[in-house]
Amino acid sequence: MEIGKENKFVEFLKKYGIYVVVGVVVFAVALTFTLLAALNGSVRTGGGTLDFTLPMNNATVVKDYSDTALQENSTLNQWEAHLAVDLTSEDSDVFAVYDGTVASVGYDYLSGYTITISHSDGFLSIYSSLAEEVEVEEGDKVVAGEKIGSASESAEGELDMGAHLHFTLMLNDDYVDPNDYLSLQLK
């Protein structure tokens, strides 16, 4: 290597070396987090593990979550993604799955009476097809296992299913499979 070219390289490193090193470190850290997330197959919440309780006692899953395979909605006579889990139980009581604040209580023709609870780490739990008489109001603080309502047939969009709970879980405004957080298949 010629002395002039070597001096230019040394001068470049003296002038821009810190930027090269910082760029390599940032790239390595980003790559590490990406690979760890891909290997774990789970969503990092930033607050550790959250222990959700079940939204109903002795529940049976009558229609499972599916964001890729279409499922038939016999009430609406159409095929659709089902971004929730539908549950039934002899005991129609519905419980908060985790501590949080009631973000909304409302009614929609297709979904029926609905309660949305905001939880820590970006989670929202949404309970639809409830009876009109709910146990909470917007702004109420709830704890895991607290009764918030009762399953019913108020969801006109799933009327053929009878009385049930249409349970949705979201993380950072994205639908997530409740089965990843709750032991629903054991019931």
- The CATH T-level fold of domain 60-186 is Glucose Permease (Domain IIA) (2.70.70)
Sketch the domain layout of the chain as residue ranges: 1-41, 60-186
Sign of the C-alpha dihedral computed for residues 44, 65, 57 and 171 taken in this order: positive
Residue 17: its H or E element: helix 3-40
Alpha carbon distance 78, 66 (integer Å): 15
Could you report the per-residue pLDDT of 121-175, keeping only the tens digit for each?
899 999 999 999 999 999 999 999 999 999 999 888 887 888 999 999 999 999 9
Residue 74, C-beta contacts closer than 8 angstroms, at least 6 positions apart: 160
Tell me the one-letter amino acid at 8. K
Cα dihedral sign, 177-181-186-187? negative
Tens digits of per-residue pLDDT, 45-67? 444 456 788 999 999 988 888 88
| 154 within 8 A of 26, measured Cβ to Cβ | no
**pLDDT score, position 90:** 93
User: What residue has token string 């097809």?
Assistant: 129
How far lies 153's CA from each of 32, 96, 114, 150, 176, in Å? 48, 19, 12, 10, 24
In this prediction the pTM is 0.70
Q: Are 96 and 126 in contact (CB under 8 A)?
A: no
Tokens of 83: 């971004």
Q: Which amino acid is at 169?
A: L
- Per-residue pLDDT tens for 11-53? 776 777 777 777 776 766 666 666 555 444 334 444 445 678 8
Euclidean distance between CA atoms 165 and 126, whole angstroms = 10
